[in-house]
Every structure is written in structure tokens, then in C-alpha cells.
């Protein structure tokens, strides 16, 4: 049997085994995923990460690795922010698999082009923080990840869904919000979103997470830390920063939610309640040491939905999704079970 046929047969067996397991459990959401993977579209962001000049060569090498294993690959490059969403939606019409090489922002765009649906998404790490790639344990090297990709398994995962842009959002009164967007890893409300709002593209591109840390330190002494009301599980918490997490990691290296997992059906709200600047230095040090959950003014709550709104009058309060600025509150974040099929290494 030629190498390409072996690759497709191997993936088909994995798909069939997982489909039988889902059927036995009563999950019929992935019934179309029993065919072998033969065609793929690789969408890549040529300026993601700190070394964009290397990106084209790395992507070409990854494509060659995938072709050597039997996949027919179409390469598609993004030319502007937001473009990956439309490219992923178009690719789903003719590809068994959509592969994204880029950062968390590009991956988020692709997710919004594919979901809800059954086209499989594969990831090749290539951004700044790479929360998703780290969470899945993917190789940092793009070529190595491409070599290993045919051995990964498709897994149906939940997504978060943010809704905002209408009166009554936080109270759940509106039925047709002006804006909605899926997220896979994290939604941040308050200080972190303001840092992203102020972070220049050149600083992010040149210094990556170090640039984000520098901007956070600079804005720490300028931001007013307005209070936000977070409601979930019939209770309310107030704080100046709230992070809705589906993963353990935040900002690339902080393990903010020790029990977080992409493969769990819910998410965890982490609220930092203080408005004092000096307290945020303590928050950062405690989070880096993974002891922030011991602080009396840090709260973790598991939930299926979080509603948030400003606790008082003042300037707009921003929120971000998967590391990209999204909008302003009031907003609602809720879990959508089984919204995406993600190709991932076996646990």
C-alpha cells in the first residue's frame, strides 16, 4: 500500500472508532466523519509570530510533509485581519480538513468560519502566545507538527459563544444580539482587554508576549480599573478583571485555571476583585507561581454561562476573545457543546 493510502486508512480507522464510541454514548453529532481525509486547505498568516520572514519557508516545508503522507494540500494566505474566517468557510465546502498555521487570533477567525459544522480543524502552531497549541501539547516546530498531524485524532469539543451589542444582554433579555462570536480558549473582561486595545501591532509582532507584558506594565499605572458585575450560577461577583476560561493557560504561560480543559463541556470564571494597582503586581506574581487561587480576593467559579456588565457609570469596558479585542460589555458568554471537530494528539 502506498504511503498516502496508509495515511488516509489510518485516519479513517481513527474516525470510525471514535464515531462508534460516540454512537454508543448517544452522540450523533459527528456522523459525517467516517470518511478518510484526502483533501486539506492550509490557511496561514504570513506575519504571525516574532519571525514572519521565516514563515513562508516553514509553511512550504509543512505542506511538503503533508503531501508526502498522502494529503492533497491547497495553500491559502491571509492578507488582512479577519480574512481567515471567510477563507475557512470557503475551504469547508471542498476540503475534508482545514489546517490553520497562525496564532490564537487566526485560529479564532477560522473557528468562526467553520462552526457550527463538521469540517475538521487542524492546528500548526505559529503565533505569539499559542495558548491552544500549548494546551494540546503540539510540537512548537511547524514541520514536526505537520509530520505528526496524520496520527492525531478528531475530537468533538465545545466552544464559548460571546453575545453583545444590545440592551439587556447581561440580564439575558435580548434574543437577537447585534454581535456574536465563538471562542475556543479564553475571554477576558477588563484590564487585559484594555492592554490589548492599547498594544501596538508592531510591538506585538516584534516582542511577542514580552511586548504584551511591557504594555501591561505601562497601562497598570494609567488604567482606572472600573468595576464589573459578573453573574453566573444565580450569584454575582464584582471585580476589575474577569477571565472566562476553557483552558488551563492564560496569556501563553500563566496556569490560571488548574483544572481547565478544552475537552470539558463548561468553563471557569476567574474574578480578580481588587481595584488597586499594587494588588495587580501581587496577582501577576501569584499567578506566575500558580498560587493565585489561595488569595482571598480571587474567585474561581465553574459555569455554563456568564453575564457581565459595568457596575457603574464610566468609560467603555473592553473584552477580548482568544487574545484579540472583540467589543465592550454588557455581554454574555455561554457554552455551545460539540460545536467544533478538532484534530488533536491522543491524551
Pairing of strands 97-102, 120-125: parallel
Give burial (CB, 10 Å; 0-12/13-18/19+) of 138.
buried
Fold classified for 3-151: Rossmann fold (3.40.50)
Pairing of strands 186-190, 318-321: antiparallel
Give burial (CB, 10 Å; 0-12/13-18/19+) of 336.
middle
At residue 155, the 3 state secondary structure works out as strand
Task: Give pLDDT, residue 25.
Answer: 37
The domain spans of the chain are 3-151, 161-337
Terminal CA-CA length for the chain: 29
Pairing of strands 241-245, 186-190: antiparallel
Enter the C-alpha cell of residue 267: 468553563
> What is the number of other CB atoms lying within 10 angstroms of the CB of residue 294?
9
At residue 11, the 3 state secondary structure works out as helix
- Alpha helices per DSSP H over 248-298: 277-288
Task: Give pLDDT, residue 50.
Answer: 58
Task: Give pLDDT, residue 347.
Answer: 73
CA distance 308 to 229: 5
CA dihedral over 337, 83, 193, 52, signed as positive or negative: positive
Task: Give pLDDT, residue 218.
Answer: 95
179-182 long-range Cβ contacts below 8 angstroms, 24+ apart: 179/327, 181/108, 181/112, 181/321, 181/326, 182/108, 182/111, 182/112, 182/115, 182/336, 182/339, 182/340
Which CATH number does 161-337 carry?
Answer: 2.60.200.40
One digit per residue, pLDDT tens: the chain, 347 residues?
A: 444 444 444 344 344 444 434 433 333 333 333 346 789 999 998 876 556 667 888 899 999 999 998 889 999 999 888 899 999 999 999 999 999 998 888 999 999 999 988 899 999 987 666 788 888 989 888 999 999 998 899 999 999 999 998 654 444 444 456 899 999 999 999 999 999 999 988 888 778 788 888 999 999 999 999 999 999 988 999 999 999 999 998 877 789 998 889 998 899 999 999 999 999 999 999 999 999 999 999 999 999 999 999 999 999 999 999 989 999 999 999 999 999 999 999 87
CA distance 77 to 46: 7
β-bridge mates for residue 164, sequence order = 179, 331
Which among 40, 41, 48, 37 is positioned nearest to 11, based on CA atoms? 37
φ, ψ of residue 159 to 5 degrees: the values are -125, 160
Amino acid at each position: 500500500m502506498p504511503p498516502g493510502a496508509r495515511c488516509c486508512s489510518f485516519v479513517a480507522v481513527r474516525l470510525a472508532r471514535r464515531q462508534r464510541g460516540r454512537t454508543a454514548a448517544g452522540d450523533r453529532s459527528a456522523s459525517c466523519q467516517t470518511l478518510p481525509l484526502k483533501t486539506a486547505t492550509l490557511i496561514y498568516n504570513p506575519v504571525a509570530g516574532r519571525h514572519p520572514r521565516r514563515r513562508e519557508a516553514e509553511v512550504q516545508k509543512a505542506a511538503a510533509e503533508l503531501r508526502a503522507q498522502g494529503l492533497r494540500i491547497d495553500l491559502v494566505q491571509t492578507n488582512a485581519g479577519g480574512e481567515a474566517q471567510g477563507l475557512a468557510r470557503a475551504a469547508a465546502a471542498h476540503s475534508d480538513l482545514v489546517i490553520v498555521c497562525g496564532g490564537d487570533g487566526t485560529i479564532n477567525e477560522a473557528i468562526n468560519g467553520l462552526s457550527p459544522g463538521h469540517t475538521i480543524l487542524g492546528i500548526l502552531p505559529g503565533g505569539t502566545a499559542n495558548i491552544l497549541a500549548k494546551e494540546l501539547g503540539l510540537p512548537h516546530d511547524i514541520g514536526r507538527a505537520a509530520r505528526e498531524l496524520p496520527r492525531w485524532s478528531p475530537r468533538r469539543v465545545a466552544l464559548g459563544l460571546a453575545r453583545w451589542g444590545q440592551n439587556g444582554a447581561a440580564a439575558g433579555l435580548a434574543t437577537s444580539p447585534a454581535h456574536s462570536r465563538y471562542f475556543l480558549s479564553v475571554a477576558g473582561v477588563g484590564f487585559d482587554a484594555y492592554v490589548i486595545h492599547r498594544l501596538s501591532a508592531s510591538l506585538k509582532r516584534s516582542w511577542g508576549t514580552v511586548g504584551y507584558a511591557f504594555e501591561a506594565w505601562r497601562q497598570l499605572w494609567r488604567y482606572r480599573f472600573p468595576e464589573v458585575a459578573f453573574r453566573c450560577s444565580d450569584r454575582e461577583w464584582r471585580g476589575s478583571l474577569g477571565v472566562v476560561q476553557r483552558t488551563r493557560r492564560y496569556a501563553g504561560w500563566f496556569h490560571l485555571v488548574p483544572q481547565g480543559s478544552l475537552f470539558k463541556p463548561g468553563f471557569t470564571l476567574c474574578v480578580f476583585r481588587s481595584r488597586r494597582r499594587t494588588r495587580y503586581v501581587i496577582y501577576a506574581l501569584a499567578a506566575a507561581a500558580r498560587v493565585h487561587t489561595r488569595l482571598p480576593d480571587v474567585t474561581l467559579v465553574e459555569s455554563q454561562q456568564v453575564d457581565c456588565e459595568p457596575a457603574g457609570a464610566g468609560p467603555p469596558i473592553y473584552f477580548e476573545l482568544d487574545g484579540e479585542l472583540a467589543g465592550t460589555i454588557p455581554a454574555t458568554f455561554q457554552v455551545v457543546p460539540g460545536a467544533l471537530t478538532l484534530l488533536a494528539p491522543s491524551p
